[in-house]
Amino acid sequence: MKKKNSLIIFLTILIITNCLTFYVSRHSMFIGTAGKFDKIIQLENFIKEHYLFDVNEKDFETWELKGAVASTGDPYSAYLTKEEMKEMTEETTGKFFGIGVYIAPGDDGLITVVSPIKDSPADKAGIKAGDKILQIDGKDFTAEEINDASKAIRGKSGSNVKLLLLKKGQKNSEELIVKRDEVKIASIIEKEIGDLGYIGITLFDEDTDADFVKALNNLIDKGKKGIIIDLRGNPGGIVDTAVGVADAVLPEGTIVTLKDNQGRIVQEYKSDADYSDVPLVVLQNGGSASASEILAGAIRDYNRAKIVGQKSFGKGIVQTLFPLPKGTGLKLTTAEYLTPKGKNIHKIGIEPDIDVKEPDDIEGIGVDFLETDTQLQKAIELLNK
């Protein structure tokens, strides 16, 4: 009797195993020797046949393309839908609707604030560089979903967005409601501080270099004996305009070199012999990234000015935006950049010559907050010497 039961159990296991083998062999043909594209098609068909819910064909195609780019593991590269491509283009023109905050994927897998745009809703609400965005309107977002997060933050002017933030240096998260508005980005802020000039560069859009030269010449014509260039909170932007600013204040020579994945020089930007030699001091902080680091790195290597503030963000790679059919696009990391002395600052940043930390309770930075802006005070002190 015992042997008979054992035999029944054995036959039952054998039948179940054979059924499973048949099922797997029938429905998992994409596993094995099939070509890469055959596997994708077979996997797609398998999902459509067995997935519990309906599959949106358009979404299926979009996420297949996003997945292909995401497989690089590079958080700065992405396949862009038509809507995302439009938003990306808007950022280079200096006008869009939202709360005015630049974000980047953090190494900890969280969405990190690079910087709020000066005088934007985010800036007025107290969002700072280094803050982490955990949720948007009650939905969790990670660094891998940064494009969706950016889309969720934007919206109609006057509407509210609820953010769950982990403030820099804090252990407990806090909820913040910010009202969306039209965000106008003035990339150049020109001010006077006695016999000194001040030029704040909030980002590098398509007109920044021309506007910088105009502000620089205007301040020099007024007899200013020194200029403070403020790159704090500048998340970067268009490389060509950062190079244009550098060309205006640097002697003849290399500004930045771009190399591809084979180590080949794909672009070498140079300055000419025509430049302004007015004394300079540069301000930077942890929100100074990408193109602003190209400018600061070049100024540093030429010993053209002292850099005051704190270590910059550390983004030493360049993305190229490729238009694709039907208004879509591809943002792809295509090169690393090296300072004039051949330094790569990616994930390293640029250390200031003079480290000055702002007070934790500071309400703002710039000329309007001179009484509490210790970094700006230090810059004025250096130029007055």
Q: Among 321, 35, 342, 61, which Cα is nearest to 206's?
A: 321
Q: Which two tokens stand for residue 341?
A: 């002395």
Q: How many CB atoms lie within 10 A of CB 155?
A: 15
- The H helix count followed by the E strand count for the chain is 10, 19
Contact 177, 161 (CB under 8 A): yes
Residue type, 339: T
**Distance, CA of 331 to CA of 343 (rounded, Å):** 24
As a whole number of Å, the CA-based R_g of the chain is: 26
Q: How many CB atoms lie within 10 A of CB 56?
A: 10
Contact 254, 337 (CB under 8 A): no
Q: DSSP 3-state helix, strand, coil percentages of the chain (rounded to 5)?
A: 35, 25, 40
**Is 301 one of the catalytic residues?**
yes
Four-CA torsion 295, 297, 303, 304, nearest 10 degrees:
10
**Is 315 one of the catalytic residues?**
yes
Which backbone phi and psi does 52 adopt, to 5 degrees? -65, -35
- Three-state SS for 364? coil
**Is 187 one of the catalytic residues?**
no
**Distance, CA of 380 to CA of 221 (rounded, Å):** 19
Q: Identify the H or E element spanning 209.
A: helix 208-221
From the list 301, 306, 312, 331, the catalytic residue is: 301
> In Å, how far are 112, 113, 159, 170, 330 from 132, measured between CA atoms?
5, 6, 22, 10, 26
From the list 288, 290, 292, 312, the catalytic residue is: 290
**Distance, CA of 86 to CA of 343 (rounded, Å):** 34
From the list 315, 331, 373, 378, the catalytic residue is: 315
Residues with a known catalytic role = 290, 301, 315
